[in-house]
Amino acid sequence: MSAQRNLMMKVWVGLLALTLIEVLLAYIQLQPVLMLSLLMGFSLVKAAMIMAYFMHLKFDRPALTWMLVPPLVGCIVVLIAYLAPDSLMMLEAGI
């Protein structure tokens, strides 16, 4: 019971640490595309930590994760794929 509690507090500390890194990135200010990539990378790690530990997916059957996560990721990839070419073209042209 208390081992579980310690684990959850470690996850919480990890989430806070990643958030702190994100805020520091905003403070030092990098190139927008690099900044977006890094922030989304950290946020995806945080989302995975919340889903695996706080939302208990790691301790449920893998079948639940396989049913829920790949379709979500697939839909988001499709969403991005619709708009990414146009966005990249505009970035390239410097508009």
Partner 1 sequence: MSQVTSTWKGGGSPFAVGRKKLGMWLFVISDALTFSSLLVVYSYLRVANDWPKPFEFYPAIIFSSAMTLVLLTSSLTMVFGVAAAHAGERAKAAKWIWLTALGGAVFVGLHLTEWNHLIHEGVTPFANPWGVPLFGATFFLITGLHMTHVAIGVVYLGVVATGFSRGKFDSEDVEVSGLYWHFVDLVWMFVFPMIYLLSVTVQ
Q: Cα-Cα-Cα-Cα dihedral of 83, 86, 89, 91, to 10°?
A: -60
Q: Which of residues 7-26 bind partner 1 (CB under 8 A)?
A: 8-9, 12, 15-16, 19, 22-23, 25-26
Question: Does residue 6 bind partner 1 (CB under 8 A)?
Answer: no
Instruction: Decide: helix, strand or coil at residue 78.
Output: helix
- Among residues 4, 6, 34, 58, which is the contact residue for partner 1, using CB under 8 A? 4
Closest contact distance (angstroms) between CB of 79 and partner 1 is 5
Q: Which of residues 47-66 bind partner 1 (CB under 8 A)?
A: 47, 50-51, 54-56, 60-61, 63-64
Distance CA 56, CA 11 (A): 12
Distance CA 59, CA 1 (A): 14
